[in-house]
């Protein structure tokens, strides 16, 4: 046992015993075999060292090349000297106010908005009446004519009104007084969203209900016609509720028929607030062709883009009725004088150089005067048509001056067009 342990710790025991004894005697050192107790302690200590080294090594590379050195950034805020004191940074005061901020594409520089022109004292008035949809229309018309000093939009809509509840607001009886007070140039009405209810004990859209409703529509139009003012009736758009949509669709037909009989103008806005399948939609194209939100989440009210689109349909007939008053460039003359548009600067006529067009009387290039199916002019055997010369002989017909296939040089003078040429 002692000899085996001596071989493990003393490499010299690999030599013959006699030679080993002589070396020890010469050097004056004689190795004695270790005792079992010391050998056990040595093995335990070696095992603990190997265990510590194994535990500290994280990867095989650490075992082969030693533990990695972890780099830690120096900090000037905390100094670990056993007391962890705070040290203020060294001269790091940043002058943020003096540094120019980069311009972001989302943050465009503020541009001064043009001033809204004041309305002229003799501006023509557009009187808007009806229910809450008429109030939305008035906002859109106000935005449409904001740059027209000669047009003023007056909103006299009652959000809860209609033709059914005459006890709340009787439009046929009150419209005459409003016209006398405001003296409008045109009356615009949009009503019907609140009329889906019983009237005079009759159920909605029955024959008796429809007859009574038509009577009230006619009374309103007759009251406006007596004043001599033109009337523009705006139809209702689609709504989110299917039942409301079906009812107002029937109302619009009643409004259209009554308005046309009274020589008024009916404006249909239905297609502007439905999708390509004719169904209600919250979003759609605005007046600039961009997709925008047109209706509120309740499917009834209109957003600002929807109000402006609603007014877009009414804007065209109003501009025809109001004439030059809708122009942004009008002359502010004496109060009471008619509104006139500024005369435009006459432009000289533009000279256009015209060339003789290609005749369609000879599509086959054979001298015939008939179109396809007609009999061509007879050609002699020795004479070839222009088509045969091009296809068989490869000879192109002579080009006319000014055409794209005229490559002659110097340029030939252009021939005047023949009389009766197609233009």
Return mean pLDDT, the chain. Answer: 76
Same structural domain for residues 269 and 408?
Answer: no
Residue ending a domain, among 64, 91, 112, is 64
54 and 176 co-located in one domain: no
Question: Do the domain assignments include residue 69?
Answer: no
Greater pLDDT, 324 or 97? 324
> Could you tell me which residues are beta bridge partners of residue 201?
none
123 token code pair: 């501006």
Q: Which residue has the higher pLDDT, 396 or 127?
A: 127
d(CA 124, CA 62): 91
Residue 84 in any domain: the answer is: no
Check if the beta carbon of residue 293 is closer than 8 Å to that of residue 282.
yes
Q: What is the pTM of this model?
A: 0.56
Q: Within a domain: residue 8?
A: yes
Mind listing the pLDDT tens digit for each residue in 271-283?
Answer: 999 999 999 999 9
Q: What local confidence, expressed as pLDDT, does residue 37 receive?
A: 59
256 and 361: one domain?
no
Which residue from 284, 264, 268 is spatially nearest to 276, judged by alpha carbons? Answer: 284
- Residues 276, 408 within the same domain: no
What is the b/e burial string over 317-354, where b = at least 16 CB atoms within 10 angstroms of the residue's CB? bbbebbeebbbeebeeeeeeeebeeeeeeeeeeeeeee
Q: How far apart are CA 262 and CA 230, in angstroms?
A: 10
Q: Are residues 260 and 367 in the same domain?
A: no
Q: Are both 321 and 375 inside the same structural domain?
A: no
Q: 169 pLDDT exceeds 70?
A: yes
Q: Mark whether 374 and 310 lie in a shared domain.
A: no
Residue with tokens 């259209």: 256
pLDDT in tens, 47-69: 544 444 444 445 677 777 766 66
Number of domains the chain contains: 3
**Domain shared by 173 and 287, yes or no:** yes
Q: Are residues 148 and 229 in the same domain?
A: yes
CATH no. for residue 133?
3.40.50.1110
Angle between helices 207-227 and 242-261 (to 10 degrees): 50
The domain of 51 spans 2-64
- Whether residue 215 sits in one domain with residue 318: yes
First to last CA, the chain: 126
Is residue 409, in this structure, part of any structural domain at all? yes
**Which of 28, 44, 64 is the last residue in one of the domains?**
64
- Map 147-210 to HEC letters: CCCCEEEEECCCCCCCCCCCCCCCHHHHHHHHHHHHCCCEEEEECCCCCCCCECCECCCCHHHH
pLDDT at 79 > cutoff 90: no
Tokens standing for residue 161: 């009104």
pLDDT (0 to 100) of residue 70? 58
- The residue that leads in pLDDT, 393 or 289, is 289
94: in domain: no
Residues sharing a CB contact under 8 Å with residue 327, sequence separation 6 or more, in sequence order: 148, 150, 341, 342
| In a domain? residue 336 | no
> What would the pLDDT profile of 385-408 be if each residue is shown by its tens digit?
777 788 888 887 777 777 777 777
> Looking at the structure, do residues 197 and 319 belong to the same domain, yes or no?
yes
């Amino acid at each position: 046992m002692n000899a085996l342990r001596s071989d493990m710790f003393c490499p010299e025991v690999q030599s013959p015993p006699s030679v080993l004894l002589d070396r020890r005697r010469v050097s004056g050192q004689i190795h004695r075999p270790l005792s079992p107790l010391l050998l056990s302690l040595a093995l335990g200590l070696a095992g603990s060292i190997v265990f510590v080294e194994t535990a500290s090594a994280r990867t095989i590379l650490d075992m082969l090349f030693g533990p990695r050195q972890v780099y830690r950034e120096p900090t000037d805020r905390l100094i670990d000297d056993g007391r962890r004191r705070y040290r203020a940074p060294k001269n790091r005061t940043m002058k943020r106010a003096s540094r120019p901020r980069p311009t972001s594409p989302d943050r465009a520089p503020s541009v001064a908005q043009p001033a809204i022109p004041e309305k002229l004292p003799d501006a023509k008035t557009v009187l808007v009446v009806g229910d809450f949809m008429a109030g939305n229309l008035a906002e859109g018309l106000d935005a449409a004519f904001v740059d027209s000093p000669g047009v003023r939009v007056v909103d006299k809509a009652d959000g809860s009104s209609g033709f059914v509840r005459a006890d709340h607001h009787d439009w046929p009886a009150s419209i005459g007084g409003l016209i006398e007070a405001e003296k409008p140039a045109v009356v615009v009405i949009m009503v019907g969203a609140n009329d889906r209810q019983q009237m005079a004990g009759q159920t909605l859209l029955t024959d008796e209900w429809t007859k009574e409703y038509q009577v009230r529509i006619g009374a309103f139009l007759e009251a406006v016609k007596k004043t001599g003012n033109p009337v523009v009736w705006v139809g209702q758009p689609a709504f989110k509720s299917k039942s409301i949509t079906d009812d107002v669709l029937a109302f619009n037909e009643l409004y259209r028929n009554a308005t046309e009989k009274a020589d008024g103008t009916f404006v249909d806005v239905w297609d502007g607030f439905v999708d390509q399948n004719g169904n209600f939609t919250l979003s759609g194209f605005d007046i600039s062709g961009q997709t925008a939100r047109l209706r509120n989440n309740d499917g009834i009210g209109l957003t600002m883009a929807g109000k402006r689109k609603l007014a877009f349909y009414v804007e065209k007939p109003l501009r025809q009725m109001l004439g030059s008053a809708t122009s942004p460039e009008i002359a502010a003359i004496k109060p009471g004088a008619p509104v006139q548009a500024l005369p435009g600067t006459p432009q000289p006529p533009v000279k256009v150089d015209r060339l003789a067009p290609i005749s369609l009387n000879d599509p086959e290039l054979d001298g015939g005067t008939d179109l396809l199916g007609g009999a061509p002019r007879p050609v002699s055997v020795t004479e070839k048509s222009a088509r045969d010369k091009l296809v068989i002989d490869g000879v192109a017909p002579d080009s006319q001056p000014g055409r794209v296939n005229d490559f002659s040089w110097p340029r030939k003078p252009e021939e005047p067009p023949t009389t009766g040429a197609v233009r």
